[in-house]
Structure 1
Amino acid sequence: MARRAAFFDVDGTLITVTSLFRFLAHDMAARGEPRRRYDDVMAALARMKAAGAGREESNRAFYAAFRGRPVAELAAEGARWFAEENAAGGLFHPHVLARLRAHAAAGELIVLLSGSFAPCVAPIAEHVAADVVVCTEPEQVGGRYTGAVDRPMVGARKAQAIHDVAVAHGLDLAGCHSYGDDASDLAALAAVGSPVVVGDDLVLTAHAHRHGWARVPSPTR
């Protein structure tokens, strides 16, 4: 019998915040940078969205904020960021985390899919004992991030990642679950036999009603 898996989007699904934004704010504060620098980055992203930029374009632009930063330094800062966020409470969506634990207890492969990068996702994956992590991998040269991103792990790329993991691990996707909260997760949800919509995204809830998909209420913090 083919093994089953549960695939989880991270931001807004498994956790209640957008990890990239929270991590950037944490990292800038740790470096003593003024709050206005963070506000400037977020304002630029808001302008891109208002101009019609999609998630992939915005995701690619965001990583420019880490240009020149040592990979090891950001990994260490990510661990500190996660420890602080988790200690504050409310970081994880309780119902989604409970489902993750249940899937793991049933012997299913736990896979995290995220447009965020390793400094944010790795400590989350370690905390929940995920088996596989597929996230955005910004370009690295000489142990530093260049600020460039070739393939953000968003949209249809998450669905492709699900198929790639299925091939690598001999999964029966018809027997797998996938969890997501945003319209950009639609292809990843449709790739499995048991999609689960987290929250109230209009596109996803419409599909849930139309196709009988399971739903989990919005995470709050």
Structure 2
Amino acid sequence: MTEPRHRPAGTPVAFFDVDETLLATKTLLDFWDFWAASGAWPVPGRLPDLRARVAAGEDRDTLNREYYRRFAGVPVATLRSAARRWYEAHRRGPRAFVTAAVEAVDGHRRRGHEVVLVSGSLRPLLEAVAEDFGAAEVRCAEQEVTAGGLLTGEVDRSMIGQAKGDAVAAVVHGRGVRAEDCWAYGDHVSDLAMLRAVGHPVVVGGSPLLVAEARRAGWTVLGGHTGPRRAASHADRPVMASENGR
């Protein structure tokens, strides 16, 4: 588990959702395809199609828990290795990232802010992303592991909806920073609790419902264009939610 690297108390924090906010993909679905094809571990047959169920709008918490149960009995070290291989392949893609969010991360880091990832995705995968972007911490669903290092298939709490808002509040309290001095970036209505928990909410791309809420509330909305990761430049202009009057 990645240990938090804290800056002085009161340092503003920028919270980022990951799927389709920072990475231009649904990581759990893409990783499952990679995992099933990799042969790293036997995959049960006749599993329901995840993408079809997501597209049909099934309850996210239910789908999330069913997803994690697919890894019951897998050594956590095997999952960690596969997750890092997936990310190394993904990050080289020509449309792997949401450009505006990448620029926002770079801008916050230049200004000395902490970056924290808040996502329902796999911790091993998120830790690879955190290392790549210099994020201080990851808040996500925690998979249960036996004393022998095997995944049970259960998680403590799905990091969806209000759980994201609670995670943001916990980090804000633990760091001794004011919520109104912090940022949050998300793309989906399930990110609303996280966005409302800070003083500078930013919608990236975004579903029509979330964009409508952002416009009603006067939040910043950034484009959802995708592209490769480029090296951060100190000449780049930081992305600031405060430019929208906040």
**TM-score by structure 2 length?**
0.82
Alpha-carbon separation, structure 1, partners of 2:220 and 2:48: 33
Q: Which residue of 1 aligns with 2:31?
A: 23
- Segments of structure 2 that go 5 or more residues without pairing to the other structure are 1-8, 228-246
Q: 1:138 and 1:187 mapped to 2: Cα distance?
A: 22
Residue 87 of structure 1 corresponds to 92
2:81 aligned with 1:73: no
Change (3 A) 1:196 1:53: same
Displaced runs of 4+ in structure 1, greater than 6 A?
A: 32-36
Distance in 1 between residues matched to 2:55 and 2:84, nearest whole Å: 30
1:150 deviates by 2.8
SS at match of 2:88: helix
2:115 aligned to which of 97, 101, 110: 110
Match in the other structure for 1:216 = 222
Q: Which amino acid aligns with 2:10?
A: A
Residues 177 and 85 of structure 1: CA distance in aligned 2, closer, same or farther (over 3 Å): same
Query: Which moved further from structure 2: 94-103 or 25-34?
Result: 25-34
Of 154, 168, 185, which aligns to 1:179? 185
1:199 alignment counterpart: 205
Match for 1:64 among 66, 69, 85? 69
Q: Following TM superposition, by how much is the alpha carbon of 1:177 offset from its aligned partner in structure 2, in angstroms?
A: 0.7
Distance 1:213 1:156 in 2: 19
Question: Hey, what's the Cα distance between the residues in 2 that align with 1:200 and 1:163?
Answer: 23
Distance 2:205 2:23 in 1: 12
Distance 1:117 1:44, change over 3 A: closer
Alignment match, 1:166: 172
1:15 partner amino acid: L
1:45 to 1:84, Cα distance in 2 relative to 1, 3 A: closer
Bigger mean CA offset, 199-208 vs 187-196: 199-208
Amino acid at match of 2:162: A
Q: Measure, in 2, the Cα distance between the counterparts of 1:35 and 1:216.
A: 39
CA RMSD of aligned residues (A): 2.3
List per-residue Cα deviations over 1:115-154 (Å, max 9, x = no partner).
0011211111110010011011121112011111230111
Give, as a single letter, the amino acid of the residue that structure 2 aligns with 1:109.
E
Q: Distance in 2 between matches of 1:33 and 1:211?
A: 47
Q: In structure 2, the residue corresponding to 1:88 is in which secondary structure?
A: coil
Q: Is contact 2:99–2:226 with CA below 8 Å preserved after alignment?
A: no
The structural deviation recorded for 1:32 is 7.4
Alpha-carbon distance in structure 2 between the residues aligned to 1:79 and 1:163: 29
| Residue-by-residue CA offset, 1:68-92 (whole Å, 9 max, x unaligned) | 1100111111111111111233212
Q: C-alpha offsets along residues 49-69 of structure 1, whole Å, 9 cap, x if unaligned?
A: 74x642111111111111111
Q: CA deviation at 1:42?
A: 5.3
Deviation digits for residues 12-70 of structure 1, max 9, x if unmatched?
Answer: 10100011111111111110789995xx54525644874x6421111111111111110
Q: Which amino acid aligns with 1:43?
A: D
Residue type of the alignment partner of 2:185: Y
SS in 1 for 2:64: helix
3-state secondary structure, aligned to 1:206: helix
The share of aligned pairs that are identical, in percent, is 37
**Which of the pair is proportionally richer in helix?**
1
* Aligned-partner residue type, residue 20 of structure 2: G
Q: Distance in 2 between matches of 1:208 and 1:44?
A: 29
Contact residue 214 and residue 220 of structure 2 kept, 8 A = yes
Matched position secondary structure for 1:124: helix
Closer/same/farther in 2, CA of residues 204 and 82 from structure 1, 3 Å limit: same
Deviation at 1:186, TM superposition (A): 0.5
1:175, distance to aligned residue in structure 2 (A): 1.2
* Distance change in 2, residues 1:219/1:149 (3 Å): farther
